[in-house]
């Protein structure tokens, strides 16, 4: 029995009737949780009450492991990976935890034997949409792999009250709805009120001499905010490790506001409370201009300060001195969003713990690693000096000091090179002055990595070229990966079962084992089963689309899918140009033989990104025409599925035949959807961009539909002077397609509606759709041909899945552990009485 020795007055034992795995115990736990936690009896219980009871039943079964994991980490003094991310896009917890605990079938059976509808309950869960897209989802996949690999780890982030907005489509346009994901409660989190931390903002600094006559600075803030941690257990697959995801919620401290009450400023105090609590209200949608988002810097500093203070507390609790902090924690910065951590750790060490600057700097550099996720200049974070000075006056001083010392080194190495100095400086002084967060992260970290081979090369050459010249040894590539637990086992049980029947279950935590499937490639029966599996899943998706969106799609048609955030560089509109090209062919010759296709789109546009929203409108408008034209005879269907999220991803990746990865070369840092599709047996049509390049290398060029300019060709064409107009004039097919849009054919005769989009293409085309158009159409024609030979297509599909081992997040995490974090697995052993896995 677990005994809480550290609480001598309260000697208690937790009996196994709360965590047992016999059917009777689980049934009993469901009933107990319904009654004692939800306070409901069957006569009054809603489906949500049953869902909550079920969720608590599952959470209870993680608690012993969770508790034990935390205890081992504290007692053993192991090195802990601390993943700092402004986003964790977790997706639904229930199924994932059931799979990881090995009790999915058992619990499902019990729920059904109790007369409840398991699938209905599963679908009730509100997914925590605490991220925008790939970057946030990557953090979630990495948390899963860290636990599965038994690496001591903690994720730190923000508990946004409202996550990424819900998307509705009205009259073809995107409408944003607040995501009230917490409205019915969140059974997966536990608030740890007693571990609340204070964070300071604003005010001024003051120099003084301490008792030893040393020059010091103190920060007198004008606001203090409380950070309350909410912990969520992150289970590993088939292991006892349950790591913690700790998300911070901002609250106003009572004591701080109390003074205001006393002087009679009641409303002023309430107002300040509201302002403080606003910090964690809402997730910022990306792709908006970075300018002037004071609240975003507040969010970043808030969660980073809470997290670093929390780590220092844990470190000191072990009885260690701060000189060894970097031996306790390897802190990874998920992009520049948490990069203020560099200045904050310096402030904590120097101002609060009185460590000498040079030593503090050593500790800081040894602590941090920085992952860059984008080369797009508009996404590189920078903050005006005035904003910085108002919000974080002490940090600005520290940044100046770091910069001065750093530029001193640069000057010594490259004398008389003021251009280089200006580029490397933490402060951009070319116009209005800014703090450059990528530079701060690069200077303050011992390791810098990109997220795919090409991306890392471009990073080294362009965006961080000067840093690479200075410190080549800091740079490495860590190609992204995704977790096969969520992205195959949870999302595609039919395929997972087929694979397991052939090669056993080890592939789930050793994805390289999928290679063994290649041995069955000549087995016609296996190919038939593979094909049938895909067909069945496509059938489910077709039913779902019919039931939820009223659109009839043919499950025998080729499912051509592009799901990702809407952005011009991702080129959803290039996909549309292909659809219109096919439509035009049919209109010109209604009896033409074409491979029936269903085009499926999903994705959100940043609320302030007009062009992305116009692309959504275009997709829907083209869909309206194509889907209702009798000449098409249902051979083409275009569906835009609203509110694309993790849950819908789980439905759509397994059902895809063709994965659209068509960004302009050099623009998509990695992509991770590309991996999820291929693992589930979709073939890719793609450019040589991001991780597509490595996927193609792995699966073989004969099993990949390549098109488009290379990054080098893109640069070359740009520097020669790219003129989209020439392509338009010289390609009659392209001209017809563009003219059809301009003519108002898809907009009820309105020739203005899509003009901004068409004009942007004709006169600028920054993402070179016109340059890649013909090559894309040719590749799509090859897809059509290939799909007609179902035997051959199936072989390619099997080979794609079989060769995706590299893209498991387990491989990526192992590389981070060995090459950046210096972290090793720690086995979590459970007392024998705790029931094993089902």
Identify the active-site residue in 436, 474, 570, 597: 570
Q: Of residues 314, 350, 451, 665, which one binds ligand 73E by CB under 6 A? A: 451
CB 611 → ligand 73E: shortest distance, Å? 17
**134 binds ligand 73E per the rule CB under 6 A:** yes
Cβ nearer to ligand 73E, comparing 132 with 598? 132
Q: Which stretch binds ligand 73E (CB under 6 A): 110-118, 373-381, 416-424, 719-727?
A: 373-381
Burial profile 635-650: b = 16 or more Cβ within 10 angstroms, e = fewer: bbbbbbbbbbbbbbbb
- CB under 6 A: which stretch of 130-138, 243-251, 699-707, 785-793 binds ligand 73E? 130-138
Q: Which residues of 795-810 are buried (b: 16+ CB within 10 A; e: fewer)?
A: bbbbbbbbbbbbbbbb
Strands 705-706 and 683-686: parallel
Separation between Cα atoms, residue 811 and residue 511, nearest integer Å:
9
Q: Which of 676, 687, 711, 803 is catalytic?
A: 676
Is residue 373 a contact point for ligand 73E (CB under 6 A)?
Answer: yes
- 466 with 420: CB under 8 angstroms? yes
Rounded to a whole number of angstroms, the minimum distance from the CB of residue 669 to ligand 73E is: 4
Q: Pick the stretch among 188-196, 297-305, 639-647, 670-678 that binds ligand 73E (CB under 6 A).
A: 670-678
**CB closer to ligand 73E out of 286 and 439:** 286
Choose which of 299, 439, 670, 680 interacts with ligand 73E (CB under 6 A). 670
Active-site residue 212, yes or no?
no
In terms of DSSP H, where are the helices of 126-265? 134-148, 254-262
Among 337, 565, 573, 617, the one annotated catalytic: 565
The least CB distance from residue 454 to ligand 73E, in Å, is 11
Is 438 one of the binding residues for ligand 73E (CB under 6 A)?
Answer: no
Backbone φ and ψ for 200, nearest 5 degrees, come out as -100, 150
CA distances from 785 to 268, 696, 789 (A): 70, 20, 7
Distance of alpha carbon 396 from alpha carbon 386, whole angstroms: 10
The 10 Å Cβ neighbour count of residue 275 is: 15
Question: Using CB under 6 A, which of 328, 480, 595, 598 touches ligand 73E?
Answer: 480
- The dihedral of CA 792, 795, 801, 803: what is its sign? negative
Q: Which stretch binds ligand 73E (CB under 6 A): 154-162, 266-274, 545-553, 665-673?
A: 665-673
> d(Cα 604, Cα 168) in Å, to the nearest integer?
10
Q: Which of 364, 374, 672, 687 is catalytic?
A: 672
Kindly indicate which of the ranges 164-172, 595-603, 663-671, 744-752 contains the residues binding ligand 73E, using the contact rule CB under 6 A.
663-671
Are 666 and 450 in contact by the 8 Å Cβ rule? The answer is no
Considering only residues 540 through 599, tell me which ones interact with ligand 73E, judged by CB under 6 A: none
3-state SS track over 236-303: CCCCCCEEEEEEEEEECCHHHHHHHHHCCCHHHHHHHHHHHHHHHCECCCCCCCCCCCHHHHHHHHHH
Nearer to ligand 73E, 336 or 800 (CB): 336
Residue 822: strand, helix, or coil: coil
By beta-carbon proximity to ligand 73E, the closer residue of 690 and 724 is 690
295 or 379, CB closer to ligand 73E? Answer: 379
Residues ≥6 apart with Cβ < 8 Å to 524: none
Q: Find the binder of ligand 73E among 654, 690, 708, 724 (CB under 6 A).
A: 690
Q: One of 446, 564, 597, 696 is an active-site residue; which one?
A: 564
> Among 37, 379, 385, 611, which residue sits at the site for ligand 73E (rule: CB under 6 A)?
379
Q: Sketch the per residue contact string, 283 through 322, with ligand 73E: x for CB under 6 A, - otherwise.
A: ---x------------------------------------
The site for ligand 73E, by CB under 6 A, has a size of: 17
Which of 691, 802, 816, 611 shows the shortest CA–CA distance to 174?
A: 611
Q: In angstroms, give the least distance from the CB of 413 to ligand 73E.
A: 31
Q: At what angle do helices 47-76 and 104-113 cross, to 10 degrees?
A: 150
In the residue annotation, 676 being an active-site residue is answered as yes
Using the rule CB under 6 A, is 85 a contact of ligand 73E? no
Q: Select from 26, 30, 111, 135 the one that contacts ligand 73E (CB under 6 A).
A: 135
Q: How far is the CB of 618 from ligand 73E (least distance, A)?
A: 22
User: Nearest-CA neighbor of 621 among 601, 645, 649?
Assistant: 601
CB of 46 to ligand 73E, least distance (A): 36
- Interacting span for ligand 73E (CB under 6 A) from 11-19, 95-103, 433-441, 666-674: 666-674
Burial 17-48 (b: 16+ CB within 10 A, else e): ebbbbeeebbebbbebbbeebbebeeeebeeb
* Shortest-Cβ-distance residue relative to ligand 73E: 134
Q: Does 92 bind ligand 73E (CB under 6 A)?
A: no
- Interface with ligand 73E includes 132 (CB under 6 A)? yes
Range 381-420, binding ligand 73E (CB under 6 A): none
Instruction: Name which of 458 and 828 has its Cβ closer to ligand 73E.
Output: 458
Minimum gap (Å) between residue 438 Cβ and ligand 73E: 12
- Cβ proximity to ligand 73E, 82 vs 480, nearer residue: 480
Residue 204 falls in which region: left (phi positive, over 0), alpha (psi -120 to 50) or beta: beta
138 binds ligand 73E (CB under 6 A): yes
83 close to 154: Cβ distance less than 8 angstroms:
yes
Within 8 A by CB and 6+ apart from 208, the residues are 216, 217, 218
CB atoms within 10 A of CB 170: 8
* Least distance to ligand 73E, CB of residue 668, Å: 5
CA atoms lying within 13 Å on the CB side of residue 709: 20
Which residue, chain included where needed, has tokens 């923000």? 158
- Contact range with ligand 73E by CB under 6 A, out of 252-260, 372-380, 748-756, 820-828: 372-380
Number of neighbouring beta carbons within 10 Å of residue 673: 25
Query: Least distance in Å: CB of 374 to ligand 73E?
Result: 4
534 is catalytic: no
For position 672 contacting ligand 73E by CB under 6 A, the verdict is: yes
Burial of 113 (0-12, 13-18, 19+ CB in 10 A): exposed
The answer to whether 374 contacts ligand 73E (rule: CB under 6 A) is yes
Among residues 79, 315, 373, 534, which one is catalytic? 373
- Shortest separation between residue 140's beta carbon and ligand 73E, angstroms: 11
Whichever of 281 and 531 has its CB closer to ligand 73E, that residue is 281
Q: How far is the C-alpha of 408 from the C-alpha of 564, rounded, in Å? A: 44
The total of other beta-carbon atoms located within 10 Å of residue 763's CB is 10
- CB of 675: closest distance to ligand 73E in angstroms? 9
205 is catalytic: no
Residues that bind ligand 73E (CB under 6 A): 132, 134-135, 138, 286, 335, 373-374, 379, 451, 480, 668-672, 690
Which residues are catalytically annotated? 373, 564-565, 570, 672, 676
């Amino acid at each position: 029995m677990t005994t809480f020795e550290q609480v001598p007055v309260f000697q208690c034992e937790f009996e196994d009737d709360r965590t047992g795995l016999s059917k009777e115990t689980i049934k009993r736990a469901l009933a107990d949780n319904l009654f004692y936690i939800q306070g409901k009896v069957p006569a009054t219980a809603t489906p949500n009450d049953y869902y909550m009871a079920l969720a608590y039943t599952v959470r209870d079964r993680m608690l012993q492991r969770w508790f034990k994991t935390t205890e081992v980490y504290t007692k053993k003094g192991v090195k802990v990976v601390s993943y700092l991310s402004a986003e964790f896009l977790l997706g639904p917890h229930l199924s994932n935890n059931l799979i990881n605990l090995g009790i999915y079938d058992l619990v499902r059976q019990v729920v059904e034997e109790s007369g409840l509808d398991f699938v209905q309950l599963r679908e009730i869960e509100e997914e925590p949409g605490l991220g925008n897209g790939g970057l946030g989802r990557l953090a979630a996949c990495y948390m899963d792999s860290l636990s599965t690999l038994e690496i001591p780890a903690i994720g730190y982030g923000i508990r946004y009250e409202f996550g990424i907005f819900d998307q509705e489509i009205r009259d073809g346009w995107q409408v944003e709805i607040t995501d009230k994901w917490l409205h019915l409660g969140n059974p997966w989190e536990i608030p740890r009120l007693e571990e609340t931390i204070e964070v300071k903002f604003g005010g001024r600094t003051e120099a003084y001499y301490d008792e030893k006559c040393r020059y010091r600075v103190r920060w007198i803030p004008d606001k203090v905010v409380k950070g309350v941690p909410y912990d969520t257990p992150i289970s590993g697959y088939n292991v006892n490790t349950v790591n913690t995801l700790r998300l911070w919620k901002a609250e106003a401290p009572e004591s701080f506001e109390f003074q205001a009450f006393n002087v009679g400023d009641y409303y002023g105090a309430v107002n300040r409370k509201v302002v403080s609590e606003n910090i964690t209200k809402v997730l910022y949608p990306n792709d908006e201009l970075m300018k002037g988002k004071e609240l975003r810097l507040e969010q970043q500093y808030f969660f980073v300060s809470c997290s670093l203070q929390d780590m220092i507390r844990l470190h000191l609790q072990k009885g260690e001195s701060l000189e060894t902090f970097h031996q306790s924690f390897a802190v990874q910065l998920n992009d520049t969003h948490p990069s203020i951590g560099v200045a904050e750790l310096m402030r904590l060490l120097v101002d609060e713990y009185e460590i000498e600057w040079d030593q503090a700097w050593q500790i800081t550099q040894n602590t941090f690693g920085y992952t860059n996720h984008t080369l797009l200049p508009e996404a590189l974070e920078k903050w005006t000096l005035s904003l910085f000075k108002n919000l974080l006056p002490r940090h600005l001083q520290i940044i100046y000091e770091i910069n001065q010392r750093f530029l001193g080194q640069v000057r010594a190495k490259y004398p008389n090179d003021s251009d280089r100095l200006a580029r490397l400086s933490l402060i951009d002084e070319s116009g209005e002055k800014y703090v450059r967060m990528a530079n701060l992260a690069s200077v303050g970290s011992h390791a810098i990595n990109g997220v795919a081979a090409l991306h890392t090369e471009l990073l080294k050459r362009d965006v961080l070229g000067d840093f690479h010249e200075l410190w080549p040894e800091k740079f490495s590539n860590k190609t992204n990966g995704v977790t096969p637990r969520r992205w195959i086992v949870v999302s595609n049980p039919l395929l997972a079962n087929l694979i397991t029947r052939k090669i056993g279950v080890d592939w789930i935590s050793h994805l390289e084992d999928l290679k063994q499937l290649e041995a069955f490639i000549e087995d016609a029966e296996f190919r038939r089963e593979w094909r049938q599996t895909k067909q069945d899943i496509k059938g489910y998706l077709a039913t779902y689309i019919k039931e939820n969106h009223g659109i009839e799609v043919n499950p025998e048609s080729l499912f051509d899918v592009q799901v990702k955030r809407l952005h011009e560089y991702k080129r959803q509109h290039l996909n549309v140009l292909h659809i219109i090209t096919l439509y035009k062919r049919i209109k010109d010759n209604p009896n033409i033989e074409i491979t029936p296709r269903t085009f499926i789109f999903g994705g959100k546009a940043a609320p302030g990104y007009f062009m992305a929203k116009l692309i959504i409108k275009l997709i829907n408008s083209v869909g309206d025409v194509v889907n209702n034209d009798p000449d098409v005879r249902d051979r083409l269907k275009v569906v835009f599925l609203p509110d694309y999220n993790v849950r819908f991803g789980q439905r759509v990746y397994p059902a895809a035949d063709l994965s659209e990865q068509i960004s302009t070369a050099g623009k998509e840092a990695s992509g991770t959807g590309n991996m999820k599709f291929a693992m589930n047996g979709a073939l890719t049509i793609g450019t040589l961009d991001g991780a597509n390049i490595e996927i193609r290398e792995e699966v073989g060029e004969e099993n990949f539909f390549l098109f488009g300019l290379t990054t080098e060709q893109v640069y070359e064409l740009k520097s020669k002077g790219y003129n989209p107009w020439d392509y338009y004039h010289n390609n009659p097919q392209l001209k017809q397609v563009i003219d059809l849009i301009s003519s108002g054919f898809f907009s009820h005769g309105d020739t203005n509606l899509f003009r901004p989009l068409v004009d942007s293409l004709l006169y600028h085309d920054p993402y070179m759709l016109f340059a890649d158009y013909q090559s894309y159409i040719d590749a799509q024609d090859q897809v059509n041909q290939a799909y007609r030979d179902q035997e051959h297509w199936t072989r390619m599909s099997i080979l794609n899945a079989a060769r995706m081992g590299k893209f498991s997040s387990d491989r990526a995490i192992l590389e981070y552990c060995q090459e950046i974090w210096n972290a090793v697995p720690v086995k979590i052993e459970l007392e024998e009485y705790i029931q094993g896995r089902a």
